[in-house]
Amino acid sequence: MNIGYIRVSCEDQNIDRQLEGVSVDKTFIDRLSGIDINRHQYQLMLEFIREGDTLFVHSMDRLSRNLDDLRSIVQILVSKGIKVKFVKENLVFTGEDSAMSILLLSLMGAFAEFERAIIRERQKEGIDIAKKKGLYKGRKRSLNPSQIEELKIKISNGNTKTSVAREYKISRRAVYNYI
């Protein structure tokens, strides 16, 4: 089977261009950061994909923005008899890869990791400048004041922070910040 994996960083990003023109039997789509491999659809894809299948990914940075994770993911997949094809880079990994292919994986993966670090650095610089000018007010709160009160009541009534976080579609860290 030809399996497609698509990842975008947020909900409003367009996924159409990633595997355009690639014929796949099943596609898994994640809409969150590539820095972490704990992504729901990625995990489902790992459970679904089998020996002899080919995994199509638009580019290396869509699979991971961390070089160690990228190399590990490719190694795990090819050790299970799965081909990994990066469409944009036109690279295929089978487990019988040349030294040049492995070098390209490492170099391009390092560039993806570097690019993410630069983006975060620029973002921090912009926020620092905006704070100095009094323009930065932080991230908008996910819950309104009445929802925050409901949340506090639920916690005081014995509901777990995890269940409350899931109900309000926020992180546990956010629950702690609200209480």
Just list the catalytic residues: 9
Instruction: Report strand pairing: 54-57 vs 2-8.
Output: parallel
Q: What are the b/e assignments for 131-158, b being 16+ CB within 10 Å?
A: eeeeeeeeeeeebeeeebeebeebbeee
Q: Which residues pair with 81 in a beta bridge?
A: none
CA distance 56 to 73: 13
